[in-house]
Amino acid sequence: MKCLISFICLRFRCTSQQHRVLQEALEEEGFLRGGESANELVKFDLNFSGGMADASLRIAVRSDKDLARVDRVIETIRGAGIHVFIYSCT
């Protein structure tokens, strides 16, 4: 049986304070470890400029459990006022 892997790509623009909420949410769900990608199935990029942070996140989704983890992260960061742009799901 083949295992299909989909990727969800997200972009964020946030303040440095909101970035802490974003990082904590990603670490809580196991996507980041110490501010770095937790494994080869997660790619996280972050750039600071003028007090704002631009971040992009690419997450491999292999199961409904992974998708639920992504949903929890999105809910948490939207609650902090961070706009989330989902620009690719494959």
Once rounded to an integer, what is the mean pLDDT over residues 40-64?
Answer: 84
Print the domain residue range for 75. 6-89
DSSP assigned state of 50: T
Contact present, 53 and 26 (Cβ < 8 Å): no
pLDDT score recorded for residue 63: 86
CATH number of the domain at 50, please. 3.30.70.600
Q: Is residue 84 part of a domain?
A: yes
3-47 pLDDT, tens digit per residue, is: 566 888 888 888 888 888 888 898 999 888 887 777 777 888 888
Q: Is residue 77 part of a domain?
A: yes
Q: Is residue 26 part of a domain?
A: yes
Q: Is residue 42 part of a domain?
A: yes
Q: Which amino acid is at 23?
A: Q
pLDDT score recorded for residue 68: 92
Q: Is residue 61 part of a domain?
A: yes
Nearest in space to 8 (alpha carbons), one of 35, 21, 26: 26
Residue 67 above 90 pLDDT? no
The Cβ of residue 51 has, within 10 Å, a number of other Cβ atoms equal to: 8
Q: Is residue 1 part of a domain?
A: no
What total of structural domains would you count in the chain?
1
Residue 2 Cα to chain centre, angstroms? 26
pLDDT score recorded for residue 1: 46
